[in-house]
Amino acid sequence: MKPDNGTIKKSIVREYVESIVTALLLALLIRAFVIQAFKIPSGSMIPTLLVGDHILVKKFSYGIQIPFTDKKILVFNSPQRGEVVVFKFPEDTSRDFIKRVIAREGDVVEIKQKKLYVNGTPQTEPYTQYVDTTGTTSAVPRDNLGPITVPKGKLFVMGDNRDQSYDSRFWGFVDISLVKGEALIIYWSWDKDINRVRFKRLGRLVK
């Protein structure tokens, strides 16, 4: 006995629904535990990241976060100095920030006339830029800070665009539990000033 047209149509509809639901679940799982897209909204990370860059963030770099909590499991690594990370802004956890890890727990941070020292050692930072052309380096805490010691379970972070970044110099430390992942790669970049794709930036690793 051949199935009627109604049964065939119901079977096709069911297959479509199951495929869509499966795809949505996989997308949610990937976003929650593996990779998440992030758009650069400000110039605080210039020249490393430009406004309009779209990046992928590795969410499993520092463990897998349990949904609806700040707890993580399978934590094998922690953020290291020099890595670019996305995290929940400590003063408003509904917002995501992206900065570079400058120091970890126990490290001593000091800034003297814009020069960064970690544990007393001057740091070489080829990825930074300074745009203040007034010639002054007396601003506190932007150009002069510390020494301060990073507390346990915290990070000290800064933007690469040092004169125009709102970061740990101003609002303090980031709890490691707020870190969502490590910036991985630029997959899209749009220059809104000239309405053009920045093709040379596509596929560039964030480092």
Catalytic positions are: 44, 99
For residue 188 the two structure tokens come to 């899209």
Q: Which of 38, 137, 34, 52 is nearest to 85 (CA)?
A: 38
For residue 175 the two structure tokens come to 């709890």
86 and 97 in contact (C-beta within 8 Å)?
yes
DSSP string across 51-76: TTEEEEEETTTT-EEPTTSS-EES--
CA 174 to the chain's CA centroid: 12
CA distances from 110 to 32, 45, 65, 118, 146 (A): 36, 20, 32, 6, 5
35 and 64 in contact (C-beta within 8 Å)?
no
Distance CA 147, CA 199 (A): 42
User: β-strands 84-89, 179-191: how paired?
Assistant: antiparallel
For residue 58 the two structure tokens come to 């590795």
